[in-house]
Amino acid sequence: MAYGKDITLKIKSLNFPLGKYIVLGGASLAVRGIRETRDLDILITTELFEELSHKGWAYDAVFEQKWNRKKLMRDDIEVYKDLYFEHLQKFIDAEEIINKADIIDGVPFQPLDHLLMGKIDTLREKDVKDIQLIKEYLKKQTGSNFI
């Protein structure tokens, strides 16, 4: 389990070039102190994805068969080259969201409004909890109950 500084140090140790990746999901919550995370999900450009596949990152064939998408893994890190919002039936490519990143301690993280949209789309039990945590965090940050 990890919070903020541990996450940013781990991500920085990967030496991914800025503008080629964005950290997603639970790590976007953890870096803000909202909740801990166990793993790292990172959206990367197609170019970086190909580079990592040649550097020995493990290819997840089961994931591709199930979701018709590609994923690479190393230790507790998973990298993707796109996001899919199932209920919207829409793929979001890496560059689109990378350009909207919140830079925290020099690392690009998924903005909470975008993460909230993804959590609402999947709506698993853990997503319902995260939605509430995000809403509470945003209310404290803005003093507004706009969500």
Q: What is the pLDDT of residues 71-108, one digit of tens each?
A: 999 999 999 998 877 767 777 878 888 999 999 999 99
Mean pLDDT for 34-49 is 93
As for how many domains the chain has, the answer is 1
Q: Of 113, 123, 114, nearest to 147 (Cα)?
A: 113
Confirm whether 84 is domain-assigned: yes
pLDDT value at residue 30: 94
- Scored b (16 or more CB within 10 A) or e, 100-121 reads ebbeeeebbbbebebbbebbee
Confirm whether 61 is domain-assigned: yes
- Domain of residue 79 covers 4-111
Whole-number Å distance between alpha carbons of 19 and 98: 6
Confirm whether 35 is domain-assigned: yes
- The CATH number that applies at residue 47 is 3.30.460
Confirm whether 62 is domain-assigned: yes
Confirm whether 93 is domain-assigned: yes
Confirm whether 49 is domain-assigned: yes
Confirm whether 88 is domain-assigned: yes
pLDDT value at residue 146: 54
Mean pLDDT for 123-142 is 87
Confirm whether 98 is domain-assigned: yes
Average pLDDT, the chain: 88
Mean pLDDT for 26-51 is 94
Mean pLDDT for 15-42 is 94
Q: Hunting for tokens 């800025």 — which residue is that?
A: 18
pLDDT in tens, 102-132: 999 999 999 998 898 888 877 788 889 989 9
pLDDT value at residue 147: 53
